[in-house]
Amino acid sequence: MLMNDKNGYAVFFFPQALEALGEAIRPYLQETKAGAHVVCREVDTGGALVEMTLDGRTTAGEAISLELMVPTNMVRMIVSARSDEAFGFGPRVAVEVAQPIADAGGSGAQVEVEAGAGPGAASGAAPEAAEPAPGGKKP
């Protein structure tokens, strides 16, 4: 994997770590202006070791997955490169909300009514009260 790939991680090491790891780390390093680093597909920092999953090839050309583990105190910085198009801020698409419909059988299904609809909406009068006024009669 190269740094111009769209997804992955670049793991940078302290100079003392590169010196301590010596020739064992050299085949996995990439040298750039930013410094020597390992490019990997996945990184797990959840323990005493940083586990890096790399894509590699055998001498026969077969694709393999390599796991490289180093102590966490050797890692200077981890840079993540992502190109998830669905992530971030962008225009939102309105979603229609389904409205429940009352059935003719009077099963008690609720119906949402738009504001201003109903008796007296056109005249501006207040809608009738649902409970009778004191004395048992509606006003």
pLDDT in tens, 89-118: 666 677 777 777 765 555 555 555 555 555
pLDDT, residue 1, reads 40
Which among 35, 27, 29, 47 has a CA at the least distance from the CA of 76? 35
Q: What region does 109 belong to: left with phi over 0, alpha with psi -120 to 50, or beta?
A: beta
The whole-model pTM stands at: 0.55
Which residue shows structure tokens 């590169």?
18
The pLDDT score that the predictor gives to residue 30 is 93
- Lowest-confidence range among 15-19, 35-39, 82-86, 125-129? 125-129
List, for residues 52-75, the tens digit of each pLDDT value: 999 988 899 999 999 999 999 999
Helix (H) or strand (E) holding 18: helix 15-21
What is the residue extent of each domain of the chain?
A: 8-81
Per-residue DSSP letter, 28:
G
Residue 60 identity (one-letter amino acid): A
pLDDT at 3 over 50: no
**Cα distance between residue 55 and residue 57, in whole Å:** 7
Across the chain, mean pLDDT equals 77
Q: What length is written for the chain?
A: 139
How many Å apart are CA 11 and CA 72, to the nearest integer? 11
Other Cβ atoms less than 10 A from the Cβ of 13: the count is 22
Of 80 and 108, the structure prediction assigns the larger pLDDT to 80
